[in-house]
Amino acid sequence: MDAILTTYNGVEFTIGAAILEFSYLLAAILFVYGLKLLSRPETARKGNFWAAAGMVLAMVTTILLHTDTAGNYIPGGNAIVIIITVAIGSVIGLLISKRVKMTAMPQLVSIFNATGGIASALVGLLEFSNPGNESLLVTLLGLIVGSVAFSGSMIAYGKLDGKVGNISAGIMKYVNFIILAAIIGLTIYIMFQPNPQDVSLMVYILFAAALAYGVLFVMPIGGADMPVVISLLNSLTGIAAAFAGFIYNNQAMILGGILVGAAGSILTLLMTKAMNRSLINVIIGGFGGGGAATGDEGGIYKEISVSDASILLAYSKKVVVVPGYGLAVAQAQHTVHELEKLLEGKGVSVKYGIHPVAGRMPGHMNVLLAEADVSYDKLVEMDEINKEMETTDVIIVVGANDVVNPSANDHPGSPIYGMPVINAEKAKNVIVMKRGMGKGYAGIENPLFFRDNTRMLFGNAKDSLQKLVNEVNTL
């Protein structure tokens, strides 16, 4: 495989190197094609398949046709060990993915982000002492970004899983600034050493500082901002992978990392825009830890019986369902789809209003409802569904809270003031399904619950929806 294929400008290209480079080009095409398919719900599954095929191709050819810096084929090596390791990891990942509940999908994404981050960080840590490494800055950046992505994702997992609580953002923002300054200072110090390999202790301190920063920058961030944080950490994982690709001069890793990093960055910016907040405000603001909405706080709520709710729904012309995390917790997506089909059979138009940050990760509600075979054209984005609110007979809020809170529009003193929300209060009737009168993930009161056109239907979302299905079926 190391026979010379051609010579160009004095550089000899071997057959193995040529095949390897062509496989990277093909993998890149598959990545881009897969990403294009991922832009539409109907083709997203195929997009995952083609992107994964590109990654498998890049991995196989890298292992079998690994070359040195001169393009010469290196036979054998650690291929067997790598293949066994990848096989073990693949089996573990497959088992976890099949068993994970939809409610725990955000935690799984955080774990995946963490594994990608630590892999890139370890590449930087191991390659730093390699005498042939000429990409010192890239190596250090990969180490830093990968470490932050790893420890930050682990804390995000703990917060999403209820194992890690919030801490005050007050003094922590200053602590984080100090650690960040120390990381920058250490990086510059190492870069200007005549022989950086002689200050390996400083590199390990840099590694520890980056891990600490990842923990401390995520800790103060409140629950309502976790979808943005997950997206940001996903972006950092991609950037770290791109740095690792530069270290090894691996085009497939570089492109794959850039695509993940760019997609995550764009999604993060879109989500912060949807919340009417800046990324810096999300990171240092500590939103979601508590507080109350000003003005229309508390009041007297009114309940509705299952029988009355079913009659109201069955004789409506237009119904909108706003899903939230409570729908995922109750595993009620199949039941709400059953109710949708029943109502449509009675001539009722049913749509789903999807808020950009509903749930615990970007697209959480879309994935949840797609699992129940809800038609994609019924999933309507916030801006579009808001145009239909005044002509909606009934809006059913299932396990959502903050994304329908009118304080975002009405009360300048509210922590969520200015955040775009679904204007549920403008519908003719509002039915809110909740277990009780507890506050949402942002920890603030929702005056929607006390409006004259709102009725509360308490109980487990799945049980309440099933009772509605049974009642509507008898009408």
Q: Tell me the pairing of strands 394-398 and 318-323.
A: parallel
Q: What percent of the chain has pLDDT over 90?
A: 35
Q: Tell me: pLDDT of 198 over 80.
A: no
Are 453 and 429 spatial neighbours (Cβ–Cβ below 8 Å)? yes
Are 50 and 37 spatial neighbours (Cβ–Cβ below 8 Å)? yes
Q: Tell me: pLDDT of 52 over 70.
A: yes
User: Within this chain, do residues 154 and 94 fall inside the same structural domain, yes or no?
Assistant: no
101 pLDDT tier (thresholds 50, 70, 90): confident
Whether residue 297 lies inside any domain: the answer is no
45, 70, 99 — which closes off a domain? 99
Catalytic residue IDs: 402
**What average pLDDT does the segment 424-429 reach?**
92
Whether residue 285 lies inside any domain: the answer is yes
**What average pLDDT does the segment 261-287 reach?**
75
- Give the pLDDT confidence score for residue 297 in this predicted structure: 54
DSSP 8-state class, residue 303:
B
User: Within this chain, do residues 58 and 106 fall inside the same structural domain, yes or no?
Assistant: no
Of the candidates 71, 65, 62, 67, the one whose C-alpha atom is nearest the C-alpha of residue 7 is: 71
pLDDT tens digits, residue range 326-344? Answer: 888 888 899 999 999 999 9
User: Within this chain, do residues 110 and 240 fall inside the same structural domain, yes or no?
Assistant: yes
- Give the pLDDT confidence score for residue 117 in this predicted structure: 93
- Give the pLDDT confidence score for residue 35 in this predicted structure: 87
71, 99, 127 — which closes off a domain? 99
Q: Which comes out higher in pLDDT, residue 138 or 168?
A: 138
Pick the range with the lowest mean pLDDT from 34-38, 116-120, 159-163, 251-255: 159-163
Helix or strand (DSSP H, E) at 172:
helix 169-191
Q: Tell me: pLDDT of 296 over 80.
A: no
Q: Give ∠ CA 317-319-322 in degrees, rounded to 5.
A: 170
390, amino acid identity: E
Q: What percent of the chain has pLDDT over 70?
A: 85
User: Within this chain, do residues 57 and 132 fall inside the same structural domain, yes or no?
Assistant: no
289 pLDDT tier (thresholds 50, 70, 90): very low
Whether residue 296 lies inside any domain: the answer is no
User: Within this chain, do residues 215 and 144 fall inside the same structural domain, yes or no?
Assistant: yes
Q: Domain total for the chain?
A: 3
4 pLDDT tier (thresholds 50, 70, 90): low
Q: Tell me: pLDDT of 39 over 70.
A: yes
291 pLDDT tier (thresholds 50, 70, 90): very low
- Give the pLDDT confidence score for residue 85 in this predicted structure: 86
295 pLDDT tier (thresholds 50, 70, 90): very low
Are 453 and 389 spatial neighbours (Cβ–Cβ below 8 Å)? no
183 pLDDT tier (thresholds 50, 70, 90): very high
User: Within this chain, do residues 314 and 461 fall inside the same structural domain, yes or no?
Assistant: yes
72 pLDDT tier (thresholds 50, 70, 90): low
Whether residue 295 lies inside any domain: the answer is no
- Give the pLDDT confidence score for residue 160 in this predicted structure: 80
Quickly list DSSP for 365-405. Answer: HHHHHHHTT--GGGEEEHHHHHTTGGG-SEEEEES--GGG-
Of the candidates 411, 400, 310, 311, the one whose C-alpha atom is nearest the C-alpha of residue 352 is: 400
- Phi, psi dihedrals of residue 293, rounded to the nearest 5°: -75, 140
Are 271 and 356 spatial neighbours (Cβ–Cβ below 8 Å)? yes
Whether residue 46 lies inside any domain: the answer is yes
pLDDT tens digits, residue range 242-270? Answer: 999 888 888 888 988 999 999 888 888 88
Whether residue 299 lies inside any domain: the answer is no
- Give the pLDDT confidence score for residue 347 in this predicted structure: 92
Whether residue 300 lies inside any domain: the answer is no
- pLDDT mean across residues, the chain: 83
Whether residue 321 lies inside any domain: the answer is yes
Report yes or no on whether pTM surpasses 0.95.
Answer: no
289, 318, 339 — which closes off a domain? 289
User: Within this chain, do residues 52 and 139 fall inside the same structural domain, yes or no?
Assistant: no
pLDDT tens digits, residue range 105-136? Answer: 788 888 989 999 999 999 988 888 776 666 78
- Give the pLDDT confidence score for residue 73 in this predicted structure: 54
User: Within this chain, do residues 164 and 271 fall inside the same structural domain, yes or no?
Assistant: yes
Q: Tell me: pLDDT of 357 over 70.
A: yes
> What range defines the domain where residue 73 resides?
1-99
- Number of H helices and number of E strands within the chain? 17, 8
User: Within this chain, do residues 73 and 128 fall inside the same structural domain, yes or no?
Assistant: no
Pick the range with the lowest mean pLDDT from 16-20, 115-119, 379-383, 448-452: 16-20
- Give the pLDDT confidence score for residue 168 in this predicted structure: 66
User: Within this chain, do residues 269 and 317 fall inside the same structural domain, yes or no?
Assistant: no
Strand order in the sheet with 349-354: 379-381, 349-354, 318-323, 394-398, 429-434, 454-458
Q: Tell me: pLDDT of 272 over 70.
A: yes
Are 118 and 150 spatial neighbours (Cβ–Cβ below 8 Å)? yes
User: Within this chain, do residues 120 and 252 fall inside the same structural domain, yes or no?
Assistant: yes
Q: What is the CATH number of the domain that holds 333?
A: 3.40.50.1220
Give the span between the Cα atoms of 49 and 396, in whole angstroms.
35
User: Within this chain, do residues 279 and 320 fall inside the same structural domain, yes or no?
Assistant: no
Q: Which comes out higher in pLDDT, residue 102 or 352?
A: 352
293 pLDDT tier (thresholds 50, 70, 90): very low
